[in-house]
């Protein structure tokens, strides 16, 4: 079971210029390209990523969020990560990505 491939499931909803993605699983070198390729950011001003069910984020996942942030900033948009677990939040804060995290309540 240790060698079992980790997966990422993505559920997307769009309302006007806001795209919301609920992510389930792992953001790693195998799943991050699928995540990036699944998103249509045409006319998106805000991308909200619900991270409640994300188990782990590898450096490839961080790069994916950086790429999304850059793409959105070019068109005046922004990205926001919500429902981030404490362990994943600490990775984002340590690597300087805290500006895209939902503020803690």
pLDDT of 91 > 80? The answer is yes
pTM of the model: 0.90
Beta strands 18-27; 46-57: pairing state: parallel
Task: Give domain status of residue 87, yes or no.
Answer: yes
Task: Give domain status of residue 68, yes or no.
Answer: yes
CATH code at position 92: 3.30.750.24
Tens digit of each residue's pLDDT (9 = 90 or more) over 10-22: 999 999 999 999 9
Contact 6, 24 (CB under 8 A): no
Beta strands 78-82; 46-57: pairing state: parallel
**pLDDT confidence tier of residue 1, bands split at 50, 70 and 90:** very low
Task: Give domain status of residue 27, yes or no.
Answer: yes
């Amino acid at each position: 079971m240790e060698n079992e491939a980790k997966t990422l499931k993505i559920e997307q909803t769009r309302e006007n210029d806001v795209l919301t993605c609920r992510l389930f699983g792992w953001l790693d070198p195998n799943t991050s390209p699928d995540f990036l390729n699944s998103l249509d950011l045409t006319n998106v001003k805000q991308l909200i990523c619900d991270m409640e069910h994300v188990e782990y984020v590898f450096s490839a996942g961080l790069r994916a969020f950086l790429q999304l942030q850059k793409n959105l900033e070019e068109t005046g948009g922004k990205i926001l990560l919500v429902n981030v677990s404490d362990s994943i939040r600490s990775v984002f804060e340590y690597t300087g990505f805290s500006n895209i995290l939902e503020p803690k309540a």
